[in-house]
Amino acid sequence: MKHTDEHISNRAVRLDGEDFHNCVFEECTLEIGGAADCVLDECSFIDCKWAFVGAAATTLALMARLSAGLVPDGKALMEQLFADIRRGAGFGQPFKLAT
């Protein structure tokens, strides 16, 4: 659904699959579930909280366990992943530690 020039306040907003343009979010909990992409174009955020739920929360929990030593070199794997994300690369690509 497309939202334009809306002022959204004091509620939980699931971002998955939504398209926001020039909206103001005030005192909202913004939920990312990882089920679909979202658009946040020229939006403002005032005293909002971000929450990862569903598949996104499961993915982040696994990443935390990998970083904490679930597998050998898990921390290095996560550091490589974050470096790739900062570069805008690596989405959907297999990761292999550089040797």
Question: How does pLDDT run across 9-59, given as a tens digit for each residue?
Answer: 999 999 999 999 999 999 999 999 999 999 999 999 999 999 999 999 999
Indicate the pTM of the whole model: 0.81
Q: Does residue 72 belong to any structural domain of this protein?
A: yes
pLDDT digits (tens, 9 = 90+) for 52-91: 999 999 999 999 999 999 999 999 999 988 988 888 876 7
Domain extent at residue 19: 2-52
Residue 62 half-sphere exposure toward CB, CA atoms < 13 A: 7
Q: Does residue 21 belong to any structural domain of this protein?
A: yes
Q: State the virtual CA torsion across 60, 61, 65, 70 in degrees, nearest 10.
A: -100
Domain check: are 47 and 60 in the same one?
A: no
User: Going edge to edge, which strands form the sheet with 7-9?
Assistant: 7-9, 24-26, 44-46
Instruction: Taking residues 3-11, report their average pLDDT.
Output: 98
Q: Does residue 94 belong to any structural domain of this protein?
A: no
Q: So what's the pLDDT on residue 97?
A: 64
Q: So what's the pLDDT on residue 90?
A: 66
Q: Which residue has the tokens 């040797």?
A: 99
Q: Are 33 and 18 in contact (CB under 8 A)?
A: no
Q: How many structural domains compose the chain?
A: 2
Q: Does residue 97 belong to any structural domain of this protein?
A: no
